[in-house]
């Protein structure tokens, strides 16, 4: 970092030996627990929301916002957490994120109305954004890029477990009378507390501290830009038409806020998202690939639960079990590709294969219908999971291997930020398309079967139907409509994965570094590299 970016005061530091494999695993245990609850907060409500909103008397708008508020806060806060990680203690930051998550979870569990619940979910999202961004940043500080693959596999495995296990846990909690839906939010609290205690004992990182003026204006403008864009996507098609004055106003506002953010970040001494990072070809291409992979990834996990429950008539618990092929694929490919990358030092081939498998898997799921053989679907999910496992962590690895050590946090969070933003936009947009598709297919089915449309009046509100309360002659028509519509959603998501596949071909493979972030910073400090972008102050916390 240039001297103009901020002044630094030297703090005595004794350069320590690299962390052992055991020490890394011990530190990762707390990080992975935090990552698990972060992802769990986004997925656990999917099967429980109908019950929650029935109890709190919430409508369609509340249904959308309970999900969107978390994704919005999570996405908007990621760059800020990443930048703070370059300026202060990563350990304190991740513990702070866990405290914020706990506070939001408790308030959500105590919610007495939908407004209170939505606000609490936004607080949860702030904490989850920190946990998602900081996990990869701390790993980069502890482990060299060459060895990082073997540990990145654990992140993929935890992501798979929380993404697919969340709906299963939420459905089980709601189905258990002596627990109730409030435990969907309480269940993560003890895990988060344990994570804080484990991190306090096992995570001892050198701390980079710089005395700089925090770019609060840039942080606000970035958050406002992302928030307005996600608000538009989540409301369009529900509260107003896609082509309407509200759309024009929100898109115009997004462009203006985005332009203001770019100008601010260009002039800031210590920008939240350093725009010069995009001068690195790898960072630009990995960011683009993350956006497109995020759209495909979140659609592949979000709508599976609805397919199994509403088209196949499975219970919440069974629908979670039916997604296990995707979990298995993600787990295996994350672990195996990570080990192979650490052994041979080659990573681009896994990005190419991974994005290719993701496009193929999502595309094949576009053929899903109500009567698709489950074992055929299992193969499609397995391919999708294999692709996700090779793609997610390795895009972050490519960026971390490229950026200066003083900007590992910002670089890592940029990839996660754009992946989550792409996923949030994709889920919101595809959700609106799904509602329209279901309505159209159901209307056609009712007409073809000569069934009185008033017998499906319960579906007119656009909410998720309860198959057990619908007239018997309507149930198969609803199942068929959902099966066909969700298949269409996967078909629409496949081109995004295909574009991601094309983009990664243009990423240039660079040999993986053999020093961790801490070692690089210590080497720079020991060499007395004053005024360079790595002249960091190092203390131990």
- Please check the confidence at residue 10 and state whether its pLDDT lies above 50: no
Give yes or no: residues 327 and 378 share one domain: yes
Tell me the residue range of the domain where 228 lies. Answer: 213-269
285, 336: one domain: yes
Predicted confidence band at 222 (pLDDT cuts at 50, 70, 90)? confident
Q: Are residues 415 and 475 part of one domain?
A: yes
Is 77 contained in some domain? yes
Domain identity same for 67 and 191: yes
pLDDT one-digit tens code per residue, 393-427: 888 888 888 888 777 777 877 888 888 888 878 87
CA distance 55 to 352: 47
Same domain, 258 and 278: no
| Domain-located, residue 366 | yes
**Rounded to an integer, what distance in angstroms lies between the CA atom of residue 58 and that of residue 49?**
10
Tell whether 253 and 385 lie within a shared domain: no
Nearest to 159 by CA among 373, 442, 391, 489: 391
83-94 pLDDT, tens digit each: 888 778 888 999
Range among 19-23, 182-186, 514-518 with highest mean pLDDT value: 182-186
Least trusted range by pLDDT, from 19-33, 138-152, 418-432, 526-540: 526-540
> 264 and 386: one domain?
no
Report whether pLDDT(492) > 80: yes
Q: Are 122 and 73 in contact (CB under 8 A)?
A: yes
User: How many other β-carbons are positioned within 10 Å of the β-carbon of residue 178?
Assistant: 5
**Which pLDDT does position 396 carry in this prediction?**
85
Domain count for the chain:
2
Tell me whether residue 507 is in a domain. Answer: yes
Q: Are residues 325 and 180 in the same domain?
A: yes
Is residue 40 in a domain?
Answer: yes
Q: Grade residue 64 by pLDDT with cuts at 50, 70 and 90.
A: low
Same domain, 332 and 207: yes
> What average pLDDT does the chain have?
81
Any domain includes 301 = yes
Higher pLDDT, 54 or 184: 184
CATH number at residue 422: 1.20.1250.20
Domain end point (choices 232, 247, 269): 269
Q: What is the C-alpha to C-alpha distance for residues 57 and 63, in angstroms, rounded to an integer?
A: 11
Pair 305, 394 in one domain: yes
User: What is the per-residue pLDDT for 529?
Assistant: 46
Considering the domain architecture, whether residues 238 and 106 belong to the same structural domain is answered as no
Examine residue 124 and state whether it is found in any structural domain, yes or no.
yes
Co-location of 281 and 417 in the same domain: yes
Q: Write down which residue in 269, 296, 317 finishes a domain.
A: 269
User: Has residue 522 been placed in a domain?
Assistant: yes
Residue 8 lies in a domain: no
pLDDT of 458 higher than 80: no
For residue 533, is pLDDT > 50? no
């Amino acid at each position: 970092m240039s001297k103009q970016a901020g002044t630094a005061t030297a703090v005595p530091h004794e350069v320590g030996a690299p962390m052992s494999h055991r020490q890394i695993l011990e530190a990762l245990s707390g990080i992975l627990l935090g990552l698990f609850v972060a992802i769990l907060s986004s997925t656990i409500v999917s099967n429980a929301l109908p019950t929650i909103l029935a109890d709190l008397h919430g409508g369609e708008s509340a249904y959308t916002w309970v999900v969107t508020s978390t994704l919005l806060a999570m996405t908007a806060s990621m760059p800020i957490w990443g930048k703070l990680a370059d300026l202060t203690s990563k350990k304190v930051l991740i513990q702070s994120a866990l405290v914020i998550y706990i506070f939001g979870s408790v308030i959500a569990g105590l919610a007495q109305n939908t407004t209170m619940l939505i606000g609490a979910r936004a607080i949860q999202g702030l904490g989850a954004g920190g946990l998602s961004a900081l996990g990869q940043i701390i790993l980069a500080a502890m482990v060299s890029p060459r060895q990082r693959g073997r540990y990145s596999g654990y992140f993929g495995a935890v992501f798979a477990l929380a993404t697919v296990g969340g709906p299963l846990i939420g459905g089980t909690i709601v189905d258990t009378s002596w627990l109730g839906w409030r435990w969907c939010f309480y269940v993560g609290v003890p895990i988060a507390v344990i994570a804080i205690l484990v991190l306090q004992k096992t995570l001892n990182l050198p701390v980079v501290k710089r005395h700089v003026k925090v770019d609060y204006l840039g942080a606000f403008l970035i958050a406002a830009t992302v928030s307005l864009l996600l608000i538009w996507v989540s409301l369009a098609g529900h509260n107003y038409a896609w082509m309407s004055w509200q759309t024009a106003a929100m898109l115009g506002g997004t462009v203006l806020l985005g332009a203001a953010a770019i100008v601010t970040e260009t002039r800031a001494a210590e920008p939240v998202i350093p725009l010069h990072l995009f001068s690195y070809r790898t960072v630009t291409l990995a960011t683009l690939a993350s956006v497109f992979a995020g759209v495909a990834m979140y659609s592949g996990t979000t709508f599976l639960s609805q397919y199994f429950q509403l088209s196949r008539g499975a219970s919440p618990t069974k629908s979670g079990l039916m997604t296990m092929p995707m979990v298995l694929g993600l787990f295996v490919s994350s672990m195996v590709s990570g080990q192979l990358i650490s052994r041979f030092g080659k990573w681009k081939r896994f990005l190419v294969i991974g994005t290719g498998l993701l496009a193929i898997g999502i595309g094949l799921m576009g053929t899903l219908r109500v009567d698709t053989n489950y074992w055929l679907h299992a193969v499609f999910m397995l391919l999708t999971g294999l692709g996700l496992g090779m793609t997610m962590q390795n895009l972050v690895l490519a960026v971390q291997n490229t950026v200066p050590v003083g900007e590992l946090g910002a670089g890592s969070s940029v990839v996660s930020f754009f992946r989550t933003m792409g996923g949030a936009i994709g889920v919101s947009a595809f959700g609106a398309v799904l509602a329209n598709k279901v309505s159209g297919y159901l209307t056609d089915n009712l007409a073809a079967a000569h069934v009185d449309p008033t017998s499906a009046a319960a579906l007119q509100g656009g909410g998720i139907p309860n198959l057990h309360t619908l007239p018997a002659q309507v149930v198969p028509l609803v199942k068929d409509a959902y099966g066909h519509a969700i298949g269409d959603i996967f078909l629409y998501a496949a081109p995004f994965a295909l574009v991601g596949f094309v983009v990664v071909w243009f990423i240039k493979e660079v040999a993986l570094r053999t020093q961790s972030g801490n070692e690089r910073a210590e080497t720079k400090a020991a060499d007395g590299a004053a005024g360079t972008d790595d002249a960091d102050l190092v203390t131990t916390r």
